[in-house]
Chains A and B, each alone.
Chain A
């Protein structure tokens, strides 16, 4: 993996660097790992293996003059691993709760996660709801409007995404980045925050594009 210091391509001096911890939650097989893989590496695996415990990845995006680095904790979906979840969402500034638009139960489970986060996670956590597998829209059972109004009621960001076609994947992370407070508190937090770029620029095309606007 490329491991370079985050310098703007044009050599311009670095603006603010913010580091955020983001956790993905949701029923198993809704596509949490696939969303992360798409966002971080621009890849998609049809047979993405199940996640046991949790997996950790990072990705950096540029937002105006700020470099936002996400530390992403991708958790196991199975209910049993629930007891581990607090370990991962503790201290997280952002969460993406994922469901599968072709499966009603996963939407129910997403709501439970939202409730738990609202109760237990840090009060200022930014929560996004992702209705994944949009590419299977012809098999949809969770209506867009239903999810949108639920998100509105609960003050969540909401997008339907597809890790397979990459639809809205970068966008949802970007929307989160925009919503996160970028005050001094978050800069240089947690370990070594000399803002590293972990992937080649072309793997997150949209994010990179935005940064240069």
Chain B
């Protein structure tokens, strides 16, 4: 396993990328849309549209990687960029006829895919056809016209003068009709250059070139022949094979309607040689698995300090000019500016900057080859010992881990494999997700954790997302205020997608209705699956029953009431002092926690915090949000304890900075240390919480709301007695006669009737009061029966600031039939 091999894997000639940059059109002045909101900046619309390009994958297209927004509508597009532009080879290299045929075939293959996706290249030229080491070609920059909404969002025409079809000039370069036929013309010119091995009209200036192209409209004979003659290449032209000439001729038809489509050209017998090869590829039942792709490489490159913006700056593509130079001469009262000189930078700059990868190669040079092939299932010790020791990042804060290139390398390599094996690797995915979730793959990992199945696309397709409903107005006013600081969610595409998902959800869940907040809840899923709306929908669809069962019923009052009451009980359980204070100042969760739980904090926190919170939430059950709520209160505890009602509620109307990692840790801590039944709810989803007669069922909301301390199930009590008796203190409050006859093992007896509740003094408990005082973090289980008051006693303990007090559900008698018995009789020894 040599070091060199590792770098070879990374140092693949096709795993390279570059960037171009341009300005999007600026909105004039302070303009508002019809809804009174500011117009979406064009660069944001571009970002939204460009996301789709990331999904396109073809051997003949450079993979689209990223689009970044700078100041003043600057837009940077990052894409795979490798090989040599054909333009650099024309006149310097002789192309064999076979080679030209192959290039023609691959150009058309690439275009055919684009056209089938309703994308028109529009600036196809020999500059952006890249010849690879293996003699194949890749088209570059094919997304510009599409992402700029057919050129409407940029201040320059999207075309390459020489290669542009004459009808484009006739319609005016700003006409926004995306006709795929223009690409066929451009291919014709590209091929003509290769066939004649001549850069066409290279000595002419811009205007003359356009005139030349328009002059072709007058030609009645062969356009290709005319071009050849003009360039003194008639000889070469005559020597070309007839079928090549024919193909070029077909492309260069001045009538777009008569120009063939890609697929018509591809079916030409000229390309017969390649068709077999193609069929072969199509016959494979599944796509091969890549250990990693250029997308991951780009991600790692960024983590090793790669910065596209800086590279462009270094190469002089981004230059800042002093702001004083951009002052207008005149500003009209309604805000329009006059007399600003047009910044030449707003024109299109075709330069491409290749991103240097040396940093990445160096940083990853020592990674051994087996690290690319992590063992997942391994029974043999010898083999597993041969695996390199895992990269140790334990103990590092999450944000550091997420920025550590090497750690992310290992995590991504591993998770890609696990996700490839999903659903069979579900258990392993859960296990690994418990450590942490690599941000690059978060969308897919979440989908796996939420059990999204392979049919999700079909499911989504079937749902009506367009018919008008009464909910539309509400959805429409909510979307433009939902996480709008995020570029994707504030883009026009983002708005459309969110609307469709919400409408589909409302359509599919007839038993539920749209509550404000559902938009925020959907936002993280859309953000992570921006290019897979169906998956975002599937995640939401599986998420709601698991965590928000019945919360979106038209009448959800009782569900929310119960949830909030359980929240109060959980506070009382873990932090009686705080609970007593909040109670005293009448500061109830109803007043502040509804948006917390209804949207699982997605309405309260910014996206990056929600992602970390939900990374853990998805691994827990529907009681976890209660613990998150508790941990938020805990973080603000000191402030709350010294504040009155007004201060407290003001604190929450503008939630102060919450340290989310701390929050996650402390919620995990209380979540794991709290017996499950403490947060038991009547309205939880039975699918996820199966119960038997020794669990808690049938607690009415009216009864619940009398109880300040939570109930504990007989199951959890039995578990304590049998496995962890040292973790609990059982207080039997029945009268001594009953207690002596039969009691729970290790329980103590503080008869209810012996305690005076008038003062809040633990001493009133009698001889056992020291046991209670020194109980530490033991759970205090109050056990009574139907004759004892099960509200006053625990309330008394709570008021004396005793933590972890709970009441055995069903009373002492439910323990009698348990076998093997957990009871004893007579005085404990």
Contact = CB atoms under 8 A, between A and B. Distances in A.
A52 B653 contact: no
B611 interface: no
A19 to B, nearest CB: 10
Given A47-B484, A52-B594, A53-B594, A71 B646 contact: yes
B482 A49 contact: yes
A52 B599 contact: yes
A76 interface: yes
Nearest to A47: B484
B287 to A, nearest CB: 41
B34 interface: yes
A164 B649 CA distance: 26
A80 B481 contact: no
Interface in A86-143: 87, 102, 105, 133, 135-136, 139
B38 interface: yes
B37 A52 contact: no
B477 interface: yes
Nearest to A28: B477
B481 A49 contact: yes
Contacts of A198: 650
Interface in B547-599: 554-555, 557, 585, 590-592, 594-595, 598-599
B513 A56 contact: no
Contacts of B603: 49-50, 52
A84 B517 CA distance: 15
A56 B516 contact: no
B482 A52 contact: no
Interface string A47-87: 11111111111100000000000010000111011011001
Interface of B: 32, 34, 36-38, 473-474, 477-478, 480-482, 484-485, 490, 513, 515-517, 519, 554-555, 557, 585, 590-592, 594-595, 598-599, 603, 644-647, 649-650, 652-654
Contact of B34 (A1, A56, A139, A192): A139
A164 B481 CA distance: 15
A56 B595 contact: no
Nearest to B32: A136
A112 to B, nearest CB: 16
A79 to B, nearest CB: 8
Which 10 pairs across A and B sit closest by C-beta, in order of nearness? A53-B594, A29-B477, A52-B595, A47-B484, A56-B649, A78-B516, A55-B653, A52-B517, A136-B36, A191-B645
Contacts of B36: 102, 133, 135-136, 139, 164
Contact of B598 (A51, A52, A56, A136): A52
Nearest to A135: B36
B484 A54 contact: no
Given A47-B481, A55-B653, A78-B474, A28 B516 contact: yes
Given A139-B34, A191-B646, A80 B484 contact: no
B468 to A, nearest CB: 15
Q: Is the interface of A mostly helix, strand, loop or mixed?
A: loop
A152 interface: no
A46 interface: yes
Contacts of B653: 55-57
B381 to A, nearest CB: 55
A127 B653 CA distance: 24
User: What class of interface size applies to chain A in its complex with B?
Assistant: 35 or more
A58 B650 contact: yes
25 contacts: A28-B474, A46-B38, A47-B485, A47-B490, A48-B481, A50-B478, A50-B482, A50-B517, A50-B603, A53-B592, A53-B598, A56-B650, A57-B650, A57-B653, A71-B646, A80-B513, A80-B515, A83-B555, A133-B36, A135-B36, A164-B36, A191-B646, A192-B644, A192-B645, A192-B646
Given A49-B481, A50-B477, A192-B646, 4 more contacts: A49-B482, A50-B478, A52-B594, A105-B473
Contacts of A49: 481-482, 603
A3 interface: yes
Nearest to B594: A53
A139 to B, nearest CB: 7
User: Which of the listed residues A54, A87, A105 has the most CB atoms from chain B within 10 Å of its own CB?
Assistant: A54
Nearest to B555: A83
Given A28-B474, A139-B34, A76 B644 contact: no
Given A87-B590, A139-B34, A192-B644, A50 B650 contact: no
Nearest to A191: B645
Contact of B554 (A1, A80, A133, A139): A80
A36 to B, nearest CB: 10
B31 to A, nearest CB: 12
Contacts of B32: 136
Interface in A8-62: 28-29, 46-58
Contacts of B34: 139
Contact of A28 (B478, B591, B646): B478
Give the one of B478, B646, B647 with max A CB within 10 A.
Answer: B646
A177 to B, nearest CB: 18
A50 B516 contact: yes
A83 B561 CA distance: 13
Nearest to A30: B477
A136 B32 CA distance: 9
Contact of B37 (A46, A80, A83): A46
Interface centre among A48, A52, A55, A135 (most CB of B within 10 A): A52
Nearest to A198: B650
Contacts of A81: 516
Contacts of B480: 47
Nearest to B485: A47
A192 B586 CA distance: 13
A136 to B, nearest CB: 5
Contact of A58 (B474, B554, B555, B646): B646
A107 to B, nearest CB: 14
A136 B482 CA distance: 22
A102 B33 CA distance: 13
A196 B646 CA distance: 10
A67 B480 CA distance: 38
A191 B585 CA distance: 8
A50 B484 CA distance: 12
A81 B478 CA distance: 14
Nearest to A49: B481
Contacts of A51: 516
B599 to A, nearest CB: 7
Contacts of A191: 585, 644-646
A178 to B, nearest CB: 23
Contacts of B591: 53-54, 56
A83 B557 contact: yes
Contacts of B485: 47
Contacts of B482: 49-50
A47 B554 contact: no
**Residue in A50, A57, A102 with the greatest tally of chain B CB atoms within 10 Å:** A50
B150 to A, nearest CB: 28
A77 B590 CA distance: 17
A17 B147 CA distance: 60
Contacts of A47: 37, 480-481, 484-485, 490
A76 to B, nearest CB: 6
Contacts of A87: 590
Contacts of B555: 83
Contacts of B481: 29, 47-50
Contacts of B490: 47
A76 B654 CA distance: 16
A94 to B, nearest CB: 17
A102 B490 CA distance: 23
